[in-house]
Chain A
């Protein structure tokens, strides 16, 4: 007889990340996945869903409230432990590193739950990587804009060409051992303060 499919509840205020986890779980054959983005009324939702595994991001400020609820076990019919196996410290570490925690009802076999946790951890990591890359791309774009403005200011105030203006910025950055964008930002700020912004 096939075991009853596991019901997985993902609590995450970040909708994109929750969707990424859900997609991963569904690809792995877990059809009973529920996403909750807002913890208001969570006790009733948990009673309805009766989850076997609950995945929560560590940024959620309501973890203390949720844990208390699991311990009182009014909303949850079976006792809940964090992670599937306390002795599996490598998995626990990987999860906390990734920023995710998981609660599992007692009595579930390790081999049934472990793939779900591993999936959540790898999707959390993938999401962080994506966010980081997006942030880097965004700040790179910002840097380029500020360098362009600084060049414009120099071209106007010193009457130099764009290439020469860029060379001046680079030289200042090298001399002061600072990033080009920082030098550009100081220059733009100073120009703004002095009222001669280009």
Chain B
């Protein structure tokens, strides 16, 4: 690696969706772009943010809403962070304890991961507990500014459960979720893989529903880059985006899934059995000890423009920060959220490869019931199906209207 033109250090958390960065390094895509890529496993998102801020990392695997929260000043210490690329779509699930699942079955939940059936049953359990004077159910998410927090809340609210009043939501690191479920200190959690599969494999829980069914083709992790570094090192950044683009194609190929699972299982990365990585990659989810459900778009590393940093994704996350009282709504704040995601950097880096590039920077989220060819530069591009399970639409041009409607619907 002595002939590398660029040296880049990236922080990541032990999650399956760090796969794009890991494959970029392990399968030589970074080296082929002249990058000596160092990956540093971290123990918290706060560490990722802090080490990006002080320059230990130039880029990092980040929760998609995190860079927006940084730029809005919602976190204690943060450098201005830009998002030149997403690291895939989907990948999360909501897992409940065996006891809660039994109660949900009593209220008619279904085993097919339907968010509506699971949410209606959960509302029944919540009502029972209120009548019995039992403590509220406790769910965990990994971070307040995470897709997990927002999709859990969106699902609950759309099923008539107030996430702030009817249940308790706490923050817990993903590797601790399964044990907390087993010990009874949690009733459920929303996390990425392999931590849902871990809870199932260890016999501690049951997957109740998945992100891919709450909001199909929805954003999850992104590549966050220190804005000052990105500005001053545009060649290095473009080279990294090309490496990750190739890595995403490699990760998406079913022929490579077994090898990828083996790489991710190594102690330096997730450090858990390769068997735990496979369900998310194959879409054959183990939902309990004796059942599995096929969700073919559970985790999408590459198809449907899965690495494109849509401004409509940034704005939806912002709308949820407003909804749950994390940020005040103003034109300035909306602009900060919109400007955090940088499709221009993505296009500039990938255009020379002839990659499929969407013609637009934003889209109406939830508007495509079927796979739809869309206008693109380079290779042809199919988007969708996408969609919120409750039929909601998010039009980024009507952000004010969406925020007002949310307020009417309750929550925040």
Contacts and interface: CB of A to CB of B under 8 A. Distances in A.
Contacts of A81: 76
The secondary structure that dominates the B interface is loop
B77 interface: yes
Contacts of B172: 62, 65
Contact of B46 (A67, A69, A86): A67
Contacts, number: 62
Interface in B137-172: 142-144, 170-172
A64 B56 contact: no
A61 interface: yes
Contacts of A92: 53-54, 77
A82 interface: yes
Contact of B43 (A59, A71, A80, A86): A59
B44 A61 contact: yes
B75 A67 contact: yes
Contacts of A97: 54
Most chain-A CB neighbours within 10 Å: which of B51, B77, B170?
B77
Interface string B29-56: 0000000000000011111001101111
Contacts of A80: 76
A58 B50 contact: yes
Interface in A56-114: 58-65, 67-71, 80-83, 86, 89, 92-93, 96-97, 101, 103
A68 B144 contact: yes
Interface residues of B, number: 24
Contact of A61 (B74, B77, B175): B175
Contacts of B142: 64
B108 interface: no
A67 B173 contact: no
Given A64-B143, A67-B46, A82 B176 contact: no
A93 B54 contact: yes
A26 to B, nearest CB: 27
A96 B175 contact: no
Contacts of B46: 63-64, 67, 101
Contact of A67 (B51, B53, B76, B175): B76
A63 B144 contact: no
B51 A96 contact: yes
Contacts of B56: 96
Contact of A62 (B44, B51, B55, B77): B44
A82 B74 CA distance: 12
A86 B54 contact: no
A65 B171 contact: yes
B15 to A, nearest CB: 13
A71 B53 contact: no
Interface string B50-90: 11011110000000000000000011110000000000000
Size category of the binding interface on chain A = 20 to 34
Contacts of B173: 61-62, 64-65
A64 B44 contact: yes
B140 to A, nearest CB: 9
A68 B53 contact: no
A63 B76 contact: no
A63 B44 contact: yes
Contacts of B144: 68, 71
Contacts of A63: 43-44, 46-47
Contacts of B76: 67, 70, 80-83, 103
Count chain A CB atoms within 10 A of each CB in B43, B45, B51, B143 and give the residue with the most: B43
Interface string A34-59: 00000000000000000000000011
A103 to B, nearest CB: 7
A124 B173 CA distance: 24
Given A58-B47, A71-B144, A82-B76, A64 B171 contact: yes
A118 B102 CA distance: 53
Nearest to B149: A68
Contacts of A101: 46, 50
Contacts of B53: 92, 96
A96 B170 contact: no
A67 B326 CA distance: 14
Contacts of A60: 43-44
B179 to A, nearest CB: 12
Interface string B207-243: 0000000000000000000000000000000000000
Nearest to B56: A96
The winner among A61, A64, A101 for most chain B CB atoms within 10 A is A64
* In the A-B complex, the 9 residue pairs with the closest CB atoms: A82-B76, A63-B46, A63-B44, A65-B171, A61-B173, A61-B43, A68-B171, A82-B77, A93-B54
Given A64-B45, A65-B170, A93-B55, 15 more contacts: A58-B50, A60-B43, A62-B44, A63-B44, A67-B75, A67-B76, A68-B171, A70-B76, A80-B76, A81-B76, A82-B76, A82-B77, A83-B76, A86-B77, A101-B50
14 contacts: A58-B47, A60-B43, A62-B44, A62-B173, A63-B43, A63-B47, A64-B44, A65-B170, A68-B171, A80-B76, A92-B54, A92-B77, A96-B56, A103-B76
